[in-house]
A and B are shown apart, each in its own frame.
Chain A
Amino acid sequence: MQPINEMKLEFVSKSSNEAFARVVAAAFASQLDPTIEELADVKTAVSEAVTNAIIHGYENRYGIIKMVCRQFEKSVEIEISDEGKGIENIEEAMQPLYTSKPDMERSGMGFTVMQSFMDKIQVRSKPGEGTTVTLYKEFNSLDGLQ
């Protein structure tokens, strides 16, 4: 499937960029005219993925986070990647309540929230090389609109 529109963004792994990234992703997705609820879902999922890249990927050190957003007729795909630590065991990391940093009061619900708020998520990771999370959401509110 060919995207009808695409954008790329690179930013430094600073926590103040979490809000920046989710607002940019939502603004781009809003071109498709989804509902406010659907946009809020996108915002929350992006916030989780970017937070993971900062805390777990780069462990609060300096790094570059890349975000690629693609629009399709009635859906968006958002790819968030870091070149940080990577995940040893993706299946374990995606378990609800699992956290590698319990001392930091992380809820361990990041991936669960992404899965619940988006239609599909894909995680690719290599220890020592980085992680890419791809979030996919269909805007069902656009069904029947033309």
Chain B
Amino acid sequence: MDIKFSNRGSTLIAMFTGELDHHFAEYARNKIERELMKATTRNVVFDLTGLNFMDSSGIGVIVGRYAKIMKLGGRSVIICSNQKIYRLLEISGILKLMPVFENLDSALQALLSA
């Protein structure tokens, strides 16, 4: 599992690849936290497109970061095109907190337009 980061203005894009479970949760958390410390970040896009597995430990990681970003006045969105992971997002109730988009363009557009 790995996360690659890129920036579009004040939006941080976190691209996940591999499998996000409890084993990698702490690693993922620390890696995102380090990026969040960088002054320019306001909004975050969690791009789950490259994940081939995620369980509720991944939900914990995302919701934890969501709360932090909210506190700092930013917003977070998810990109997910994988049906299995989408179902997990649905069951977990995370859809009530964060909008989900199919690709980066629509995610960025939503962040810009609000």
Contacts and interface: CB of A to CB of B under 8 A. Distances in A.
Contacts of B88: 44, 113
Interface residues of A, number: 26
Given A51-B21, A107-B56, A113 B61 contact: no
B92 A113 contact: yes
B60 interface: yes
A18 B22 contact: yes
Contact of B21 (A19, A97, A106, A107): A19
Contacts of B56: 48, 51, 106-107, 109-110, 112-113
Contacts of B23: 15-16, 18-19
Contacts of A104: 60
- The DSSP consensus for interface residues of chain B is helix
Contacts of A18: 21-23
B63 interface: yes
B64 interface: yes
Interface of A: 15-16, 18-19, 22, 37, 40-41, 43-44, 47-48, 51, 54-55, 96-97, 104-107, 109-110, 112-113, 116
8 contacts: A18-B23, A105-B25, A106-B60, A107-B59, A110-B56, A112-B56, A112-B91, A113-B88
